[in-house]
Structure formats: C-alpha cells, structure tokens
Chain A
Amino acid sequence: MAAVSEPESEPVFDGPRIPIEAGTWRIIAPAIGLEALIIDTGLEPDGTMEAPAGPDEVGWFRYGSPPGSSGNALMGGHVDWTDRTTGRPRGAVFFRLRQLQARSLVVFTDGAQEYVYEVSEKRRYRWDDPASVDVLQPTTDSRLTLITCGGAFDSATRSYDMRDVIIAHRVA
C-alpha cells in the first residue's frame, strides 16, 4: 500500500493511543490464507498514512481506533513486493485481499482473545479520489478497514492507480 490519498478534509483521529505489544497482534482471513503480524504505523512526513516497511506485515494506523474495540480500525498492507536482491516481484500480505467476499471471515487477535468480523463491503477508489477519505472516518460501529493497492501499476511513480478497500464488521 502506498498513501491512500490526500484528503480534502482531514479525518479526525481521536482513537485511544494503544501501543501494540510487539508480536502479539495478528490478522487472519482463512478464506484467502491470510495470517499476518500487525505492526504499528503512523503518518508519513507528508501527512499521508504510513505503509508498512516490509511485504509480510500489516500496518495498523495508530491514529485510528484499535481493532477489537468500537470504532474504525484502519490497516494497510502491500499487494506485491519486489525483492531487492533478486529484483523479482512477488505477492505480499494483501495480495489476495480483493478475493474476500461479502460475509467472509476476518479475525483479529491480540494474542489473548480473538475478535471475529465479517466482510460487509468492498470498495475501490482512484488513489486521488477525494471520496476515499470516507473510509478513514471514525465510526461508532466496530469495524476493520483494510486497504491495499490495486489497478494498474505506474512504473514512473512506482505506484498503483487504485486503492482496494475491504470493510468488515465485528460479529463476535
């Protein structure tokens, strides 16, 4: 995932600042074989959401709500990745995120407890679509918003032109 967009109106991030206990938070979506460590991410210097530094982790945006609680927990992950030594591309942690369908299971665990969500919505935005800021807004329900890159790769900007978003609501 790269930056989601430059929103016209800044979303309000007022969730609790809960540090991730290293190595304990994970996200799982059995239907697509997704099982990954969640790391803590914040903002890039330009004010956009920070992308995880590696291909195999999912970044939780620390200014959103924490997963497992009420509110909108925002997470981003790369869709693919070029190996720096071999130069070969490969799928990254959210490579198959788009294959999730409505009612698919997504599970968050903090190491002690599991929180079960079901996919309720799939969305796709152009990277610069101002409407994409909607998915970053705080909510009163308990949801995960998972974001990755999609569409066509622009080798000049080294970035995809779309953002794929999966929204999952907590059911247990």
Chain B
Amino acid sequence: MNFRRRRRRSAGGVFIAVLLGVLLGGGGKLWFDRTLSTVSGTVVDAATQQPLANAEVRWQHLTATTDSQGRFTLIGVDRELADVPLVLGGGDYEQRQVAVADASVPVVLQPDTVHGVITDRERRPIARARVTAGSATALAAEDGSFRIDGIAKNPALRVVAPGYRTVNVQPGSRRQLQVTLEAFTPKGMWVPFGALHTGEVREGWLRHVDRLQLNTVVLDVVSDRGQVAPAVATALTRQAGSVLEGGDDLGAIVKELRARNIYVVARLVVFKDSPVAAAKPEWSIRVARNGAPYTDCEGQRWLDPFEPAVWEYKLQQAERVVELGFNEVQFDYLRFPSDCIPGPLAYSRPLTDEAKLEAVEAFLQRAVARLRPKGVALAADVFGLVATKDDIGIGQQLESLGKYVDYVSPMVYPSTWGDGAFNLPYPPAEPYRVVRESVRAAVDRLAGSGAVVRPWLQSFDDYRTRRLPYRHRQIADQIRAAEEAGATGWMLWDPFGRYPLEDPPQLGG
C-alpha cells in the first residue's frame, strides 16, 4: 500500500514501476502485477460503426491512441483503483468514461464535432453565419468555415444568417459539411395584434402578400402598450392585467404562415411596458424630483433599462415567443425614453450616455446567450435618426447593436425629419432621397458587423405640416431607395396594419 500511495503522488515512480513490470514481468506474472496491468480495447465510431483510429484513451496520467483498427493498449493500469475510469474520446468525439473492468467491450463514441463551410448558391462564403445545435453554438469565419463542438447529444444543426433562409442540417455520419444557404430578402409588413385571428382580415392580409410580393410578416406579441398575446402571458402580466383576450391560436397561426413559406417575426416591445411598470413600481422609471412614475407623451410608463429583473422578465417573454415557432424576435423600444421628460429621471444606476449603451448591450448579451441556441434570428428596431447620427441620448447606437443582432431596422420615415434635413426643404416630400441617404449611412456603419439593415418604411400619411398622402408612389419610391442603398429587405409600417388605398381591416371585437 505504501508503494501505491507513493506512486500516486509521483508520476516518475509509476513510470519506473511500469518499466519494471514490463522488463521483469513480461506477461505480468511478477509480484506487482496484482496492481498494475495492461488494459486493451477497441473504440468504434457510433456514426459509421467502424473502428475509430486516433482516438485518445487516458487513465490517470497514462495515455494511448487507437491504431487504424481502433485498438488501444494502456500499460500500467492499477486494477485495484476500480473507481478510476478510463477516459476515451475528446477532440472531434464525445468524451466517455468507462470502468476499467468494461474495457474489453468495444467502446462506442459519438462524434461530437462537425466542421463545415457555409456558402451561397454561387459558392461564395457566408461569413458570420451562426450555427447552433442544442446549447452549442459557433460562428462562421470570414471564409465561411466553422467548427461546432458538443453536438453528440443534439446532432441537428441550425444555420442562421441574415439575408438567407434558415436551414436545418442533419449531419448523420458526415463530419465535414458543405452548407448552402438560399438568399432571402425579407419583405414584410406589420400586422396588428389579433388581425390574423379573424378569417376575413387574414384573407385581406394574405392578398397583400401576393400584391406586394411579401414574404415576411411582423406580428405583435408584446405591444407598445405592454399588451401581451395570451401565449406569452406570465403570472406577472396576468397580475398587471395586460394579457389580451382572444388570439389563443397564435402558435397555430405561426405554423400556418410558415407552411406558406412566410418568415414570421415577433415584435416584442422591451422597456416601454406601462402595465408592468404600474404593477412593479420598483422596476419603473421615476421622476427624480418627486418620485412619481415617469410617463411619456402617450401617458405610458417605462421600465428601468438598468434593472436585471426587467431583463429577465423580457427574456422570459422572448423564450415563450421562440417556443411558438417564430423565425425571429424583433426587439422594439430597446432604448431609454425620449419624449415628455419632465426633468431628471431616477434609475437604479447613475445615468450617463455610456451607461445607457451598456444597459442596452447587457440586455442583448443575455438575449444572445439565451435565444441564439434556439436558432432564432434577432433584430432591433431603432430610431431613423440613429442611422445618420451617433447615439442621440437614448442608448441606441448602430455599431453597438450590430454586435448582437442579425437585423437592424431603422425607422427611416421621411416624416421624422424637419425642414432642411438632407438639404431638403421638406423631407417628407422626398421619400426616395430620405430613405436612400438613411439606409446608405446605416449600411456603411454596419459593414463588417455581421448585422444587416432592414428598414421600416413609412406606409402612413405624412404627419408633419403639409400632411402629404403616402400612397403607392411614395411606398414604391422608398422600396426602390432601400434596395438601391443596400438594404437586406424592408418592412412597411402602417399603424392600422393595412396598405394604402385599401379599406382599413375591420378588427372584429
């Protein structure tokens, strides 16, 4: 026993003992072969059922590598240490532990790694595509190559890249994949909550799909009034009374739309959530002067973007959205308030411009960690002004967002701009120019970030002084401008969820 204790402390001692065993024992017949012996076995690739060469086998400090027949031999294993297993695999295979006594049975190892190259149909590499398998994730390099580990338990891969259709890949026994993605330009329209739940309105909306050649729909799951679809409800939203009635079949609608090859986006409003801000005053933004809840120009309360409990609540909503089968989670109001601010506001942390950006990034970091493994795309809506200006004091900066999301969607509405912007006397009269300049600026700023620009376009009448009608012509102009400026798709925003010149849909009560 003394000998073994010493040996365990000293690798050199073992080496000597093994050497002695080999030299003196030959077949292992000498006095110390009771404790040290030779262990042999074979390793098999689970996917091919063939012997696995070059697999690593370890016991304590001893190592061996399988030969071309998958065989290995470890010399100097102490069989009395029954609780110390052999460790097999690693590298491109799962790691398994096997009792020394079981080593004579072939050890089957699951491949654990897939290497691959992601290209488009013309074989051009797609950089920064995201590959997920269970909780494992990988990011493709500039040349489109990727390596993903830890997939033994979840061999199905999902590949998400902005501007391409998401694909699911079953590697089977293949360890080297060539993944081809089909280019996809999301062209969509926002549809208000509940609009797809009534047959007539749904048919009307589906007609737009044909008429405008749309392939994308944006559905509200958490509105800018904090109302949530029943499928996204939690105890907190029920307590806050913000769960909408009806629309229990959201999952079925998503499924139906996806069956029609429509890309389904969930719009999830983040920090503007009046009902929950009222139910959870400790999470809300307050007026520093008197401690009263801050309300924006629409009378809506906001949640504190610094509060980790708020992030958690919103991420739980997002996770429910993903379970419903949406292709993408689009965060809106992912920012600090901008209007009707009555003086300094009180947050849980001191307010600086840097802190605002950090708060938004901290939320997105968690969103990436929690949602990406589920194989959804992520998007952020931003003010149109953010495209051409640096952060405007609301915690939105394109470069910062581009690190986390797939799609950045500036609301490039020409009516946002005051006279003289873009050197135009009245910007809403020049939708083509405003959209082209805004999108071009955003595309330039996000180049190389992995995120692409997919703007929201103005599909509502001008609300500034001249109140210009926005009809087919203005919308066609914006679409052309966005496409010419390098956007990857676009979305039409109409507060009534219709399209100009159509009768507003009757949102049945």
Contact = CB atoms under 8 A, between A and B. Distances in A.
A29 B187 CA distance: 14
A114 interface: yes
Contacts of B477: 33, 35
A107 B213 contact: no
A103 interface: yes
A30 B501 contact: no
Given A107-B472, A114-B472, A116-B501, A31 B211 contact: yes
B209 to A, nearest CB: 9
A79 to B, nearest CB: 16
Contacts of B483: 33
Given A33-B480, A34-B480, A35-B480, A26 B211 contact: no
A103 B211 contact: yes
Interface string B470-509: 0111011101110110000000000000000100000000
Contact of B472 (A30, A103, A104, A118): A30
Interface in A73-112: 99-105, 107, 109
Contacts of B212: 30-31, 104-105
Nearest to B213: A31
Contacts of B479: 30-33
A160 B180 CA distance: 33
Contacts of A102: 210
Contact of B476 (A33, A99, A116): A33
Main secondary structure of the interface of B (DSSP, over half): helix
Interface in A18-46: 26, 28-35
Given A30-B472, A33-B476, A33-B480, A114 B210 contact: no
A56 to B, nearest CB: 11
A162 B477 CA distance: 28
Contacts of A29: 476
Given A104-B210, A104-B213, A105-B212, A26 B480 contact: no
Contacts of B213: 31-32, 99-101, 104
A30 B210 contact: no
Nearest to A172: B501
Interface centre among B213, B477, B481 (most CB of A within 10 A): B213
Nearest to A30: B476
A35 B210 contact: no
A105 B472 contact: yes
Interface in B197-220: 207, 210-213
Contacts of A35: 472-473, 476-477, 480
B472 A28 contact: yes
A116 B207 CA distance: 14
A26 B210 contact: no
Interface string B166-205: 0000000000000000000001000000000000000000
A118 B210 CA distance: 10
B482 to A, nearest CB: 8
A55 to B, nearest CB: 14
B131 to A, nearest CB: 31
A49 B108 CA distance: 75
A81 B213 CA distance: 26
A170 B180 CA distance: 41
A123 B473 CA distance: 26
Contacts of A33: 476-477, 479-481, 483-484
Contacts of A105: 211-212, 472
A141 B475 CA distance: 28
Contacts of B207: 103
A29 B211 CA distance: 9
A99 B472 CA distance: 18
A168 to B, nearest CB: 11
B476 A34 contact: yes
Contacts of B473: 26, 28, 35, 107, 109
A105 B187 CA distance: 15
Contacts of A114: 471-472, 501
Nearest to A103: B210
Contact of B475 (A30, A101, A109, A116): A30
A12 to B, nearest CB: 32
Contacts of A118: 211
Nearest to B482: A33
A104 B211 contact: yes
Nearest to B214: A31
Q: Which of A33, A101, A118 has the most CB of B within 10 A?
A: A33
Best-buried of A100, A105, A118 by chain B (most CB within 10 Å): A105
Contacts of A34: 476, 480
A77 to B, nearest CB: 14
A167 B128 CA distance: 42
Contacts of B187: 31
A102 B207 CA distance: 12
A26 B477 CA distance: 12
B271 to A, nearest CB: 33
Nearest to A116: B501
A109 B476 CA distance: 13
Contacts of A31: 187, 211-213, 479
Interface of B: 187, 207, 210-213, 471-473, 475-477, 479-481, 483-484, 501
Given A32-B213, A34-B476, A35-B476, 13 more contacts: A32-B479, A33-B480, A33-B484, A35-B472, A101-B210, A101-B213, A105-B212, A105-B472, A107-B472, A107-B473, A109-B473, A114-B472, A118-B211
User: Which 8 residue pairs are nearest across A and B when measured between Cβ atoms?
Assistant: A33-B480, A103-B210, A31-B213, A35-B476, A105-B211, A33-B479, A30-B476, A107-B472
9 contacts: A26-B473, A28-B472, A31-B213, A34-B480, A35-B473, A35-B477, A99-B213, A104-B213, A114-B501
